[in-house]
Amino acid sequence: MKVKICGLSTPDTIAAAVEGGAAYVGFVFFEKSSRLVSVDTARALAADVPPGVVKVGLFVNPDDAALEAVLDTVPLDMIQLHGAEPPERVVEVRGTHGLPVMKALGLRDESDLTALDTYAEVADQILVDAKPPAGGEVPGGNGLAFDWRLLSGRRWPLPWMLAGGLEADNVQRAANLTGATQVDLSSGVESAPGVKDPALIRAFLKAAGAERPGPPHDGPGLP
């Protein structure tokens, strides 16, 4: 299984993720998140990420100036759009910034499944997360799970990733119910909101059977 640890902000948690076999590491550039990192911090952390581990930047409804302010300094490999970006904006971001785009989508019930099919036609990857609580200001990383059975038997012609409420003791069950071969988590390896715990990161990666692929190819669906 390929694992993405999102919301990393310190050298020791980067080391735990890399040494444990994470295929992706994520940096959050959303001002309302407890996991927000500055551009300078992200640049320094990215320098400790070896080739073969995909560096993902998480943005929420960014304009091009906000993306450029980060991309000019931080050597990201992939952009994650975690807001209400329409399909045409996904296409625009891919074309303007020259990086693969992962689009995160919230799922609560069967009525939300149509959007997954729509975005699968324009993104390089999709990330299926639980919908945030009504009125919530943070669209992801809330530690909420949805009914994983909604994804049973569903497949798309591009890589996809499961998120939402994952922990070391349920990741294999989630994978079995959904067929996911990639998972993403943030709050499941925290000792407090926004505070990653290296021991929890290592435990999750071990429980997930984390497997890092070889050096990424040049195609859009890294790795």
Enzyme catalytic residues = 6, 129
* Cα separation, 192 vs 53, whole angstroms: 26
Beta bridge partners of residue 78, listed in sequence order: 56
Neighbours of 166 (CB within 10 A): 27
Q: What does the block give as tokens for 108?
A: 């609560």
Tell me if 183 sits within 8 A of 208, measured CB to CB: yes
Runs of H (alpha helix) within the chain:
11-20, 39-46, 64-71, 87-97, 113-119, 171-178, 198-208
Tell me how crowded residue 185 is: count the other CB atoms within 10 A of its CB: 27
**Secondary structure (H, E, C), 54-99:** EEEEEECCCCHHHHHHHHCCCCCCEEEECCCCCHHHHHHHHHHHCC
Residue listed under structure tokens 């890294």: 222
Pairing relationship of beta strands 190-192 and 195-196 according to DSSP bridges: antiparallel
How far is it, in rounded angstroms, from Cα 112 to Cα 114?
A: 6
Largest CA distance in the chain: 42
